[in-house]
């Protein structure tokens, strides 16, 4: 087994205890440093929480797990290109260094931050976030000097032929390719950038205000509440059992566990390539469906490989295959 997993640091379960059985599978841990907003709501970094996080990260470093710190907001507002943001990056890496936790990697959505890192911290590997949503190699060509690794666009990464070409391009250009495997978002979600911006500004509480206008930030949730459960099958997640097909082409497998309700379950499933339960429970966000997507049932039908590898997934014609598959796995 290869070390491919990138695990989001979580605080709602014992992190070290969960990771210890899978050290041989975990390549990296990713996290937002206290005081730095990222593309998820920030926890309350009390002294106790901060101390626990530092201890967890030191354990990772001692066990050969790379540290990936996040500056991956979609928007930095009026300081997006500024000395203030450059100095925040510099100060943050200085704080990490003082704790003996200088990062190996920084994941960002900001070309400005990437430029500052190249100038001030050339030893840090720069990763382009999945939130940049670059769908092919053409989008990377103008900025080749600004990054060392990147995440594949979620909309396309079930397409093995596309992923194989992207992997070959990455190796040929000295870049490292990764993919996120447990996204619970809708494919081509029209709310994703809007939603991520709220996270970046730490304003997700505004979603409560939206209820006054019959407006939901979570369009995926609203969509499923209308009974469109087949859209779960049309999404971009990868089953744990199918992961070896994709690991042929990528070096990094990102697990969204930072704010997940069941992070240990997610880690165990993808580390062992097996899961017996409701597949929806592995995804981020976790959706509460009226019935379960029986993960083991996917192995019993030849329809699943067809749906998983559908070449029309981004321009769905509603051919009926997902409807038939639903009858077999949603129960």
Write down all domains in the chain, each with its CATH number in brackets.
5-295 (3.20.20.60)
Strand partners, 71: 108
Compute mean pLDDT per 10 residues along the chain, 331 residues long, and list them.
96 97 98 87 85 98 98 89 97 97 97 97 96 87 94 92 96 97 89 75 66 79 89 96 97 96 98 98 94 97 94 90 96 93
Look at residue 152 and give its three-state secondary structure.
Answer: coil
The pTM for the full model equals 0.94
Query: Which residues on neighbouring strands pair with residue 254, listed in sequence order?
Result: 6, 180
pLDDT at residue 207, rounded to an integer: 64
DSSP per residue, 196-217:
HHHHHTT-TTHHHHHGGGT--S
144: buried, middle or exposed (CB in 10 Å: 19+, 13-18, 0-12)? exposed
289 phi-psi bin (left φ>0, alpha ψ -120 to 50, beta other): beta
Largest CA distance in the chain: 57
**DSSP letter for each residue of 95-140:** HHHHTT---SEEEES-HHHHHHHHHH-TTSEEEE-GGG---SGGGT
How far does CA 106 lie from the centroid of its chain?
Answer: 14
Select from 260, 294, 292 the least CA-distant residue to 275.
294
Kindly report the number of other CB atoms within 10 A of residue 205's CB atom. Answer: 9
Whole-number pLDDT of residue 76: 87
Listed in sequence order, the DSSP H helices in the chain are 15-19, 47-62, 83-98, 111-120, 160-172, 192-200, 206-210, 219-225, 230-233, 243-247, 263-272, 303-308, 321-329
């Amino acid at each position: 087994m290869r070390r491919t997993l990138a695990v989001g640091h979580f605080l709602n379960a014992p992190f070290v205890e969960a990771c210890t059985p899978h050290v041989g599978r975990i390549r990296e841990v990713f996290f937002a440093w206290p005081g730095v907003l990222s593309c998820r709501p920030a926890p309350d970094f009390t002294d106790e929480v901060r101390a626990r996080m530092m201890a967890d990260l030191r354990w990772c470093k001692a066990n050969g797990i790379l540290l990936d710190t996040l500056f991956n907001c979609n928007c930095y507002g009026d300081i997006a290109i500024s000395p203030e943001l450059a100095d925040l990056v510099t100060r943050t890496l200085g704080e990490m260094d003082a704790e003996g936790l200088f990062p190996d990697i920084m994941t960002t959505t900001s070309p400005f931050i990437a430029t500052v890192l190249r100038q001030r911290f050339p030893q840090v590997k720069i990763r382009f976030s999945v939130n940049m949503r670059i769908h092919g190699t053409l989008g990377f060509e103008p900025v080749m000097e600004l990054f060392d690794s990147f995440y594949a666009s979620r909309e396309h990464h079930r397409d093995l032929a596309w992923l194989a070409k992207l992997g070959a391009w990455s190796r040929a250009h000295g870049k490292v390719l990764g993919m996120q495997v447990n996204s619970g978002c809708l494919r081509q979600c029209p709310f994703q950038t809007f939603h991520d911006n709220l996270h970046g500004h730490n304003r997700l509480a505004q979603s409560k205000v939206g209820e006054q206008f019959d407006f939901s930030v979570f369009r995926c949730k609203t969509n499923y509440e209308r009974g469109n459960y087949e859209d779960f099958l049309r999404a971009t997640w990868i089953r744990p059992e199918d992961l070896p097909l994709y690991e042929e082409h990528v070096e990094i497998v990102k697990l969204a566990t930072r704010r997940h309700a069941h992070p240990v379950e997610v880690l165990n499933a993808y580390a062992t390539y097996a899961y017996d339960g409701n597949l929806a429970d592995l995804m981020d966000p976790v959706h509460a469906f009226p019935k379960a997507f029986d993960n083991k049932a996917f192995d019993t039908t030849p329809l699943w490989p067809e749906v998983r590898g559908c070449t029309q997934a981004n321009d769905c014609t509603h051919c009926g295959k997902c409807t038939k598959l639903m009858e077999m796995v949603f129960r």
